[in-house]
Amino acid sequence: MTGLYERDKRSLSTLSNLRFFPQSITGGKGSYLIAEDGRRLLDFSASWGAASLGHSHPALAAAVAGALKDQAGASHLSTANLPAVELAEKLLALVPDRAAGRVWLGHSGSDANETVARAVLAATGRSRILSFKGAYHGGTSGSMAVSGHPVQQGVPKAAGLSLIPFPDGYRDGGEAAAAQAALDHLRALLDGPVPPNEVAALFLEPIQSDGGMIVPPDGYFQEVEALCRRHGILIVADEVKVGLGRSGRFHAFEHLGIQPDIVVFGKGLGGGLPVSAAVGPEAIMNHSAAFSFQTVHGNPVCAAAAKAVLETIERDSLVEQAAEVGLHLKGLLERLQEKHALVGDVRGRGLALGVELVTDRQTKEAAKTATALTVYRAFELGLILYYVGVSSNVLEFTPPLTLTKEEATAGVALLDQALSDVAAGRV
Ligand code: PLP
């Protein structure tokens, strides 16, 4: 198999232009991808967190093969099937009581968020939604309509959408000041132009991931929750990227000390297969606005994959592993901060970490070019890493939950080298 990258470019849509480097992958095992030229690449991205169990995990392969062999129907629309029912039962048992009503199964984080956005408006009879500047909730029209990431500038927003600031301790004068300013903004909004009794829901990411892996200040979301409860505003936790153990707790919202009404899962839920879920109260998830009629949703193969992912996370204590290895990885990244002037901030939880690169630690000017060069150089050295952030200057770490401490150490050594090469102009 040669020339895969060129064949891909000639045959597939230009989506491939979004890639960070010219990579063709022909296989993978655990935390490593095998490139077309035979190189082993340590994967610190896991395709933006989708490959939660790493590559070629035997439990996932067995579940998918088994579901295909004994396939019972092709969709939960046409007939009840065991894997979809078991997955739904499992998810209901995992979410807070207030969300444990019904499960909607989809194919992506985008379709799940879009469905929830439609359903909360219809079920509450309210016309407005709150979401955060910098938030990424998906790439379909309805999920982009409730997102605030600048990459989607020019995309029509939901009619009643208000975007509020996400408190960023690094850039907004420290945690306390950032939280206060964001709360003041929200309170002023609800006291003025946005009547709270018109707001159906607030969409939140427990760590704002594509916006720059920003961890909200302690206590901030508890205040937001109190405001929402006072006004009957539903809370939607988008756990698509950082949920299911990645943050070092099963749900990332557990770190915030809040109880959402609706929880959205995707990416890592399928371990790389297309499956998502929205779990929420019956009155919302059973509302006709949540009926989306996508032919093969709740299909037994993807449902079996998701069930295997959840079982493996539990059986192999991957939440605990993500917490422990994440702490180790974060410690190593903090040491890079001492060594490389480019590193402005190291943040995150568990195996959802970010390293913000700046040209100057005082002005905090985003080191956009250096970030792209670092990612490219790391790839040349054998480390897969992507970047995020509203200024595209945050290295993102979302490796498989199965990553070991040794692999974390090996990857950071490559990143160390990449940062040195970029600083010395060797790239
Ligand atoms: N929500 C969050 C928090 C995400 O990070 C993403 C993707 O990056 C999505 C939703 C959309 O998920 P998908 O790309 O699977 O549609």
For tokens 């006072």, the residue is 230
Q: Which residues of 25-46 are buried (b: 16+ CB within 10 A; e: fewer)?
A: beebebbbbbbeeeeebbbbbb
Nearest atom (ligand 1) to Cα of 210? 5
Query: Would the pLDDT of 1 be above 60?
Result: no
Predicted confidence at residue 191, as pLDDT, reads: 97
pLDDT band at 17, cuts 50/70/90? low
Confirm or reject: Cβ of 206 under 6 Å from ligand 1.
no
From atom 5 of ligand 1, which residue's Cα is the shortest distance away?
241
The confidence score (pLDDT) of residue 24 equals 85
Look at residue 150 and tell me whether its pLDDT is greater than 70.
yes
The DSSP 8-state label assigned to residue 22 in this structure reads: -
Is it the case that residue 285 has pLDDT exceeding 90?
yes
H-type alpha helices, 28-80: 46-49, 58-69
Residue keyed to tokens 């709270």: 196
Expressed in angstroms and rounded, the spacing between residue 231 Cα and the centre of ligand 1 is 28
For the CA of 48, the closest atom of ligand 1 is 8
pLDDT for position 423 = 97
Q: Is 109 in the pocket of ligand 1 (CB under 6 A)?
A: yes
What's the CA-to-centroid distance between 33 and ligand 1, angstroms?
A: 22
356 touches ligand 1 (CB under 6 Å): no
Q: Is the CB of 113 under 6 A from ligand 1?
A: yes
Structure tokens at 317: 């204590």
Q: Which atom of ligand 1 is nearest to the CA of 50?
A: 15
Q: Is the CB of 238 under 6 A from ligand 1?
A: yes
> Ligand 1: which residue has its CA nearest to atom 10?
137
Check pocket membership of 45 for ligand 1, CB cut-off 6 A: no
Residue 179, H or E segment:
helix 175-191
Residue 308 is predicted with a pLDDT of: 98
Sheet-wide strand order for 199-204? 102-106, 276-280, 262-265, 234-238, 199-204, 128-132, 161-164
82 CA distance to ligand 1 middle (Å): 27
pLDDT at 375: 96
Give the residue whose CA is nearest to atom 13 of ligand 1: 109
Q: What is the mean pLDDT of residues 214-219?
A: 98
Closest atom of ligand 1 relative to the 205 alpha carbon: 3
Instruction: Tell whether ligand 1 has an atom less than 6 A from the beta carbon of residue 110.
Output: yes
pLDDT at site 350: 98
Q: 3 pLDDT exceeds 90?
A: no
Q: Which of 180-189, 218-227, 280-289, 351-360 has the lowest mean pLDDT?
A: 280-289
Which are the catalytic amino acids? Answer: 136
pLDDT for the residue numbered 204: 99
ipTM above 0.95, yes or no: yes
Instruction: Say which residues have a Cβ less than 8 Å from residue 297's Cβ, sequence separation at least 6.
Output: 75, 76, 77, 105, 106, 107
239-266 pLDDT, tens digit per residue, is: 999 999 999 999 999 999 999 999 999 9
pLDDT value for 267: 98
Kindly tell me if the per-residue pLDDT of 384 is higher than 60: yes
* Ligand 1 neighbourhood includes 138 CB (under 6 angstroms): yes
Rounded to the nearest whole angstrom, what is the distance from the C-alpha of residue 109 to the centroid of ligand 1?
Answer: 5
137 CA to centre of ligand 1 in angstroms? 5
Would you say residue 306 has pLDDT above 90?
yes
- Which pLDDT band, with edges at 50, 70 and 90, does 16 fall under? low
Residue 274: per-residue pLDDT: 97
Whether this prediction's pTM lies above 0.90 is answered by yes
- The count of C-alpha atoms lying within 13 angstroms of the C-alpha of 314, restricted to the half-sphere facing its C-beta, is 10
How many angstroms separate the alpha carbon of residue 234 from the centre of ligand 1? 20
Please work out whether the CB of residue 266 comes within 6 Å of at least one atom of ligand 1: yes
pLDDT at 15: 67
Instruction: Please determine, for residue 6, whether its predicted confidence score (pLDDT) is greater than 90.
Output: no
| pLDDT tens sequence across 101-141 | 999 999 999 999 999 999 999 999 999 999 999 999 999 99
pLDDT at 304 over 90: yes
Which residue's CA is the closest to the ligand 1 atom numbered 7?
Answer: 138
Residue 259 Cα to ligand 1 midpoint, Å, equals 21
The answer to whether residues 279 and 100 touch, using CB atoms and an 8 Å cutoff, is yes
As a whole number, mean pLDDT of residues 33-46 equals 95
* Mean pLDDT score of the chain: 95
The predicted pLDDT at position 9 comes to 81
Q: Which of 37-51, 73-87, 329-343, 395-409 has the lowest mean pLDDT?
A: 73-87
Q: Answer yes or no: is pLDDT of 23 > 90.
A: no
Beta carbon of 48 within 6 Å of any ligand 1 atom: yes
